[in-house]
Amino acid sequence: TMSKLSVSVEEKFINMWIAIESLSRLDSHDNIIGNIIINVSSACSIRYIYKEIRNFIEDCFRCEISLDFDGVVINRNEPNKELLVQNILNIFRNNTLYAELHNRCSTCALLKHRCEKFHALLNDEKKLINQIKSHHQTIRWHLDRLYRIRNEIAHSANKQFISVVSYTEHLYDYLATYISELARFS
């Protein structure tokens, strides 16, 4: 709340960082940045593939791609979003249904590409694991970069070449995901 109510973007960023520090303060590491990088990047990676699949389903709906298949119907209004994901996973793993989905997604090049990507990932355990590991590492790098920006702002008020607005948005996304995952397991 303090971050959202702050006037300057630097103050928003610093207050957002303090919120992450406060939530991730554990005794598992000697320093706060270690706690943040390990805990937040892990929380943001837990349901990475699930969220990507959910986004793919929503993109299909936005592009008006029918997700009604023989024996499998994916209904946009389904309240159980995990069921939606499970159903699309079954489609990706069934060669006949996947061929039909792929054909439907061909109307949009990006959607077709994402369809092919998910099919490859969901049918190759090593690729799937490597994708999650890569995402986890990317978040670690981003958090490390955000920590350096935090230090530049806090210690030298250096903001000349920093687009703090976009970095604050990234930080907010990480914080929201971290809180969501903490609440999920509480």
3-state helix, strand, coil in the chain (%, to 5): 75, 0, 20
Helix 9-24, helix 32-46: angle, nearest 10 = 90
pLDDT 10s digits, 76-118: 888 999 999 999 999 999 999 999 999 999 999 999 999 999 9
pLDDT 10s digits, 13-22: 888 899 999 8
For the chain, which residues score pLDDT lower than 50? none
Residue 19: HSE in the Cβ half-sphere, 13 Å Cα cutoff? 20
Show Cβ contacts of residue 78 under 8 Å, excluding neighbours closer than 6 positions.
84
Tell me, what's the pLDDT at 70? 84
Question: E strands, the chain, where?
Answer: 68-69, 72-73
Q: What angle do CA 116, 121, 124 make, to 5 degrees?
A: 125
